[in-house]
C-alpha cells in the first residue's frame, strides 16, 4: 500500500472512530420498549443495554403468579436487549457501510 493509500485509510479510520463515539452517545439516549404476557410486563432499555424502567400490571402481582411473573420479566428484558442489538447493528451498518474495514475493527 502506498503512503497516500495508507494516509487515506488512516483518515477514514479516524473519521469512523469519531463517528462511533458520537453514535455511542446517541444510542445511550435512544430507548426500546418490549412487553410480555400481553402487556402485563413492559420494560424500557436504552441503547447501552441498561434497563430504564419496568412496569408490571398490578393484576398479575400476587404470590400465585410469582413464577409466571418472573418468567414474563425475563422474557420482556431479553426481548428488549435483542431490540437494542438490532438497533445497534442498524446504526453500525449506517456508520461503516461505505468503509471496507476488517471484521471486528469496532
What is the domain-level CATH number for residue 54?
3.30.1310.10
Return the pLDDT at 92.
Answer: 81
CB 41 within 8 A of CB 55: yes
C-alpha of 35 from chain center:
16
- As a whole number, the mean pLDDT across the chain is 86
For residue 54, what pLDDT is reported?
A: 96
Does 1 reside within a domain? Answer: no
In DSSP notation, 80-92 reads HHHHHHHHHHHHH
pLDDT digits (tens, 9 = 90+) for 38-87: 999 999 999 999 999 999 999 988 889 899 999 999 999 999 999 999 99
Q: What pLDDT sits at residue 18?
A: 85
Question: What is the pTM for the complete model shown?
Answer: 0.71
CA dihedral 51, 55, 60, 63 (to 10 degrees): 50
17 domain-assigned? no
Is residue 87 assigned to a domain?
yes
The C-alpha cell of 32 is what?
426500546
67 lies in some domain: yes
Number of domain units in the chain: 1
Identify whether 58 is part of a domain. Answer: yes
- Gap between the Cα atoms of 48 and 58, Å rounded: 28
Determine, yes or no, domain membership for 9.
no
Residue 87, domain extent: 26-96
Amino acid at each position: 500500500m502506498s503512503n497516500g493509500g495508507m494516509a487515506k485509510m488512516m483518515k477514514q479510520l479516524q473519521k469512523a472512530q469519531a463517528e462511533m463515539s458520537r453514535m455511542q452517545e446517541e444510542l445511550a439516549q435512544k430507548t426500546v420498549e418490549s412487553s410480555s404476557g400481553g402487556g402485563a410486563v413492559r420494560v424500557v432499555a436504552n441503547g447501552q443495554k441498561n434497563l430504564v424502567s419496568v412496569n408490571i400490571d398490578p393484576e398479575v402481582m400476587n404470590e400465585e403468579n410469582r413464577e409466571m411473573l418472573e418468567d414474563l420479566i425475563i422474557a420482556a428484558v431479553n426481548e428488549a436487549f435483542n431490540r437494542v442489538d438490532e438497533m445497534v447493528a442498524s446504526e453500525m451498518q449506517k456508520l461503516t457501510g461505505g468503509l471496507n474495514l476488517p471484521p471486528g475493527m469496532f
